[in-house]
Amino acid sequence: MHTQWIEQNEILDRIYHPEDIKAQGIRYNALIEKFTQWTGNRDYLIARAPGRVNIIGEHTDYNHCPVLPCAVDRDIIAVFAPAEDGKITVADFVDKYGVREFELEPEIPSYPAGDWGNYIKAALQGLLNDKALSPGSESVKGFTMMIHSTIPAAAGMSSSSAMVVLSAIAALHVNHTKVPPLELAELMARAERYTGTQGGGMDQAAILLGEKDKALKIDFAPLKCELTPFPGDYQILIAHSTVQAPKTREVMDKYNRRSIECRLAAALIGAHEKDRGRPSVSYMGELTPDYEAADVIRPEGYSKAEIREILGISKEELDRSYCLRKDGSVFPEPEEGFLLYKRALHVISEWKRVEESALRLKEGNIQELGRLMYASHTSCRDNHEISCRELDELVDCARQHKSPGARLTGAGFGGCTVHICRNDKLDGYRKDLENCFYRKVLGQDSAEGHMFTVYPSEGARILKGKG
């Protein structure tokens, strides 16, 4: 029977926790069956892209400062087959999400903001722009694909980036084209900006470069990755705040504001350094983790007029270089001004915490890693202002019940917290969080569906393919 491949294939042992292998085999088989019923095609291919959890290093990647994430065993899997033309057709295993279908063309028009199909289009547009696929070529093949995801949406675990990467590796495979993982990670980080977010490259790098039982310290400009074993006597627990952070215009503006403020902070620092005869600065990652931003930037907000005067540029140049949204509209000046000092303070101190955390993880010093995680959450809350009441309450509960470390993970404004817990204390800790947060704070009967463990996992791969 054609579905027996996935039950017997040893690759599942390299991806999932031993206790999860049987359930994953059933999941893959169900997707295969539904794909073959939908298409009539039994000559299928299989691919997978994991979600990721960021242990520490929030909003640092787009500043070219390091991060410390891992790919996880929550993932999007796909069964797909090449199309004979340039058409892309993607269906979700869950019928309510429908089908997305479009033609490959040099400029692919986007769906409305927030539509999940834009992440497929982002990948294909990125490959076309980079000439990894040839736009307009009759030989370029599309694909028909069905997906199933176990990554919670709008939770800060990069379901969107997983969809981008998955679409890219499927397109490359059916077109017999190879792009090295590091290069593809950078390409897909650029490609995802098609959707309107001004992100960095952490998500795509973690999703492509992950390895089982390993965390990744990722540096940028140039992109490089160092693997660090994650201790087997600890687990990573994810707790959802129950507040979703979908990529609506409002949430994207909140995220993009931080990116704008960070680039403006770097520009002001760069102008200061240039006046002192030092090399100019484009990103805060060109500084050091001990740089004192307080010597250059004041704590109060800045108006656009003040920034223009310091940088010696026109209103049009300021808006064009720093404040344009994807649709061409100009990001407005916040009522309190651009909070450049707070953002720089967060990014530079977070950079230092990442460097220290990587060292502590190598030593197996989980208590010190945890202290740095709590400090990261405080800075995310107070300086970058990306937390919310529910995330803060979850982290407070973690402190009360003696988790070595906890913090928000992902872009913020909702989503999940990441917790470190000893294996032998996990069951009790889950009950503590259930009583402390989900029952006491939210008044819910239980935490069912809101807490789950994840394991460091392999990166995105073609699991069954020809060629």
Task: Take residue 379 and report the two structure tokens written for it.
Answer: 């800075």
Segments of 188-254 assigned E as strands: 214-219, 224-229, 234-240
Residue with tokens 């993009």: 256
Task: Take residue 249 and report the two structure tokens written for it.
Answer: 């215009």
Task: Take residue 396 and report the two structure tokens written for it.
Answer: 């407070």
For the chain, the domains span 4-229+457-464, 239-246+357-363+375-454, 249-342
User: What CA–CA distance (Å, rounded) separates 355 from 332?
Assistant: 35
Angle subtended at Cα 79 by Cα 19 and Cα 201, rounded to the nearest 5 degrees: 80
SS3 category, 324: strand
Which residues are bridge partners to 76 per DSSP?
Answer: 49, 149
User: What CA–CA distance (Å, rounded) separates 164 from 207?
Assistant: 10
Domain 249-342 coded CATH 3.40.710.10 = no
- The fold for domain 4-229+457-464 equals Ribosomal Protein S5; domain 2 (3.30.230)
User: What CA–CA distance (Å, rounded) separates 327 from 284?
Assistant: 27
Are 188 and 203 in contact by the 8 Å Cβ rule? The answer is: no
Mark the ranges of the chain whose per-residue pLDDT is less than 50: 1-3, 467
Task: Take residue 286 and report the two structure tokens written for it.
Answer: 């060109």
Task: Take residue 132 and report the two structure tokens written for it.
Answer: 């990894």
DSSP codes joined into one string, 228-244: EEPPTTEEEEEEE-S--
Domain 239-246+357-363+375-454 coded CATH 3.40.50.1820 = no
Are 291 and 285 in contact by the 8 Å Cβ rule? The answer is: no
User: What CA–CA distance (Å, rounded) separates 249 from 244?
Assistant: 14
Residue with tokens 């250059």: 296
Q: What is the model's pTM?
A: 0.92
User: What CA–CA distance (Å, rounded) separates 187 from 168?
Assistant: 10
**Digit-coded pLDDT (tens) for 56-99:** 999 999 999 999 999 999 999 999 999 988 899 999 999 999 99
Task: Take residue 28 and report the two structure tokens written for it.
Answer: 């893959």
Q: What is the CA radius of gyration of the chain?
A: 22
Which residues are bridge partners to 330 per DSSP?
Answer: 324
Beta strand 143-149 with 214-219: parallel, antiparallel or unpaired?
Answer: unpaired
DSSP at 388? -
Task: Take residue 263 and report the two structure tokens written for it.
Answer: 């680039």
Angular region, 25: left φ>0, alpha ψ -120 to 50, beta rest: alpha
The predicted structure's pLDDT at residue 1? 37
Are 353 and 339 in contact by the 8 Å Cβ rule? The answer is: no
DSSP codes joined into one string, 43-112: S-EEEEEEEEEEEE-TT-GGGT--BEEEEEEEEEEEEEEE-SSSEEEEEESSGGG-EEEEE--SSPPPPS
Q: Which helix (H) or strand (E) holds 148?
A: strand 143-149
> In one letter, which amino acid is 54?
N
From residue 194, give the alpha-carbon distance in Å to each of 219, 243, 297: 23, 25, 32
User: What CA–CA distance (Å, rounded) separates 80 from 36?
Assistant: 10
